[in-house]
Structure 1
Amino acid sequence: MIMGFKKCAAAAALLAMGAVAASAADFTIRASHGESTESPLHRGWQVFEAYVESASGGDIEVEIAPAGQLGSMTDALEQAKIGAIQMAHGDEQVMSTFYKPMMVLATPYLFNNDQEGMDFIYSAYFSEVREKMASESGLRLLSAASYGFRNFTNNVRVVKSAADMSGIRMRVPPSPMSLEMVKAMGGSPTPVPWEELYGAMQSGVVDGQENPIGVALDYSFYQVQKYMTLDNHQLGLNTMMINEAFFQSLTPELREIVVTGAKMGAATEYGERNYQARVIAVAKLRELGMEVYAPTPEEAATFRDAVREPMQAYLKSELDPAFVEAVYAEIDAARAADRAAVE
């Protein structure tokens, strides 16, 4: 009787092992991102993981390495490019190091709002750019989520229009477009390393800086800055990137699941970031003593008008001029169509 029980137990164990083997995933997506597990970005990746594993019936397993465990953003994208991992987190700046035309997404005042930027990235026109990136760089852009616009803060005056930037010493990152942007408005662009920024504002080495609203709150810039202007000059993007060879190794059905999951993950992050930036952070900064100013449509136009030609000239010096003109034309046409739809 005992021997019979042991045989049954052994058989059951073998069956269980067989079931495990049968249910093992056909594909594994190892993914890297640079933010904490408490961030909206991580929650977006978790939605991606849950959807892809469920919708694929277990054919795809997703393993996420958060908080830069696999290195910097650039390091992780390099790993994804060569296939050491399958997916990685990118942004509007770093993507251009892998495919230069992506630098247009970091152009100041290219988009009037977050949704306009999202619509452009998913547009038929830009899908061709994404396909070229996939074929030429080995990295495919699956989805993008806005993490908020960069905005100006300063200690001199309330900046309501481009003319109000005159003479303000504005800290900018070491980016040619950022330098040209501030210069075009009459300000004095001053590169300062991120690590030295707070002290530079505190001591008066610079009068102001530009970053997403949440940065001003998280890093206590309200302690050394009086005024914030919601000019929304540069759209911040977090993207999900995938190794192109791996993506093409999937069946069409699994590729569709991965793309859908990436869009769902991006939508999750975008919704939470948008609420934080537009409601929580602004209200808190005002409560903490900052004067937060939202320009009127007419005032906002002065910022865009001041930098449009200098930005186009710079982009054309770096990229195919026809491509630059096409990007602006596509956005202008989409904007006109949206306006016509409500008139």
Structure 2
Amino acid sequence: MRNSKIVLGIVLFWVFSLIMSGSVLAVDYEMKIGHSQSVKTPRHKACVYFKSLVEKETNGRIKVRIYPSNQLGTEAEMMETVKVGAIQATLGGQFEAASPKLLIYTMPFLFKDIDSVYSIIRGPIGDKIAATTEKNNIKILATGVAGGLRNFSNNKRPVKTPEDMSGLKMRTPPIDSIIKTVKAIGGNPVSVPYAELYMALKTGVADGQENPFTNMVDKKLYEVQKYLTIVNYQFHPSPLYVSLDWYNSLDSDLKAILKKCAEKMMIYNDKLNREATEDSFEILKDKMEVNYLTEEQRVQFIEKSQAVYDYYIKEGFFTQAEIDEIRTAE
């Protein structure tokens, strides 16, 4: 009996020593991340990178599990499950569901170029916008780019001014700021599910559409669209939304590590998106007639889209001062 106790004591001491040395690691927390895109996309590749960073930096105390392609539900459903803590994180849209303040990013012609986007989402203004989600039990650890700036295409005529948009049936996603922008600049919004976009353009249900270059290439829209207008009119963020209750349950050192890893993840995400955007444009410009706007033409679109700002400011989503702060900081 005495020998058994001695052996047990030695074994316990050995296990304790291994744990303290890091040779045996217990998983303290599980972090499930759901998103809507395929494993081939920059978003998923960024998640895989995040997983490797987190598990290494926390010595395995946080185990990250990734669920792509809507495995955990639609974007809306995943957002709700993050709010109640059923899963720990998600990436993607659902801006207003997280905080109406995030819609400020989607205002037309707010950013001059993608570098201007980076300077805001990675800086103090981006941090301030992200903090507004905490009232909905969501913590944004970092914000990246979702596919690049958005542009117009159509199969009727070159578009260089708002007058050229007149009468064009433009397919829009169910995003209010896009619908309002297309109306403001003279187009006729047509609601078509993304999965049906190609056929809608091919059959004439819609004359044109708006999307990042990467989406246009992925859907092979160059086969059913003739004219491409480089307008860079809108940006969509891709925040890493985390359950605030879960985040607050973490030790302070783990919180700091997650934040650091999320920031690195988004820089990698943005790099992948930038490369994909450039590669996609090379394909599009060989298959479509590309129209570049002069500064004077771009100003015409900006002036027409002011009505969109007026609406959101009047409804209290954000203030003119907040818009000015972003434009000044760029």
By how many angstroms is 1:154 displaced? 0.7
Task: Name the amino acid aligned to 2:106.
Answer: A
Specify the SS of the correspondent of 2:72: coil
Q: Which runs of 5+ in 1 are unaligned?
A: 1-7, 336-343
Alignment pair present for 1:303 and 2:279: no
Give the TM-score normalised by structure 2.
Answer: 0.87
Distance in 2 between residues matched to 1:117 and 1:30, nearest whole Å: 28
Distance 2:159 2:176 in 1: 22
For 1:326, the aligned partner's letter is A
Of 55, 63, 84, which aligns to 1:61? 63
**Is contact 2:36–2:74 with CA below 8 Å preserved after alignment?**
yes
Q: Report the alpha carbon displacement of residue 14 of structure 1 after superposing the two structures with TM.
A: 10
Judging changes above 3 Å, is the alpha-carbon distance between structure 1 residues 15 and 33 closer, same or farther for their aligned structure 2 residues?
Answer: farther
C-alpha spacing 1:294/1:30, structure 2 compared with 1 (3 Å): same
Check conservation: 1:177, 1:314, Cα contact below 8 A.
Answer: no
Equivalent residue letter for 2:73? G
Alpha-carbon distance in 2 for matches of 1:47, 1:130: 22
Provide, for residues 69-93 of structure 1, a one-character-per-residue CA deviation record: whole Å limited to 9, x for no partner.
21112222222111112111122xx
Percent identity between matched residues is 30
Residue 213 of structure 1: how far off its partner (Å): 1.1
Determine if contact 1:118/1:144 at 8 Å carries over to the other structure. Answer: no
Aligned match of 2:326: 331
Question: Residue 257 of structure 1: CA displacement?
Answer: 1.0
Partner residue in 2 for 1:237: 237
Shift of 1:226: 0.2
Matching residue of 1:33: 35
Q: Matched residue of 2:181: which SS?
A: helix
1:163 equivalenced with 2:163 (yes/no): yes
Greater shift, 156-165 or 44-53, is seen at 156-165
User: In 2, Cα distance between the equivalents of 1:72 and 1:13?
Assistant: 47
Q: 1:76 aligns to what?
A: 78
Q: Which ranges in structure 2 are unaligned for 5 or more consecutive residues?
A: 1-6
Contact 2:101–2:132 (Cα < 8 Å) also in 1: no
State whether residues 86 and 246 of structure 1, in contact with CA within 8 Å, keep that contact through their aligned partners in structure 2: yes
Pair 1:296–1:128, CA change in 2 (3 A) = same
Separation in structure 1 between the aligned mates of residue 158 and residue 118 of structure 2, nearest angstrom = 30
1:200-247, Cα deviation, whole Å (9 max, x unpaired): 322223221111112221112111110111211121222211111121
Name the counterpart of 1:341: none
Could you tell me whether the CA contact under 8 Å between 1:183 and 1:189 is conserved in 2? yes
Whether the 8 Å contact between 1:101 and 1:319 is mirrored in structure 2 is no
* Cα deviation, residue 44, structure 1: 0.8
CA contact (8 A) 2:225 2:288 kept: yes
Amino acid at match of 2:40: E
CA distance in 2 between counterparts of 1:205 and 1:27 reads: 49
> Following the alignment from structure 2 to structure 1, what is the Cα–Cα distance between the partners of residues 87 and 194?
30
2:3 is aligned to none
Conservation of the 8 A alpha-carbon contact between 2:121 and 2:144? no
- Deviation by residue 1:159-218 (Cα, 9 ceiling, x = unmatched): 123332223222222333223212222222232333443233222232211111122211
CA RMSD of aligned residues (A): 2.5
TM-score normalized with structure 1 length: 0.84
Tell me, yes or no, if the aligned pair for 2:172 and 2:192 is still in contact at 8 Å.
yes
d(CA) in 1 for partners of 2:51 and 2:175?
Answer: 34
Q: 1:175 to 1:62 in 2, by over 3 A?
A: closer
Residue 285 of structure 2 corresponds to 286
2:100 is aligned to 100
In the alignment, what sits opposite 2:270? Answer: 270
SS at match of 1:63: strand
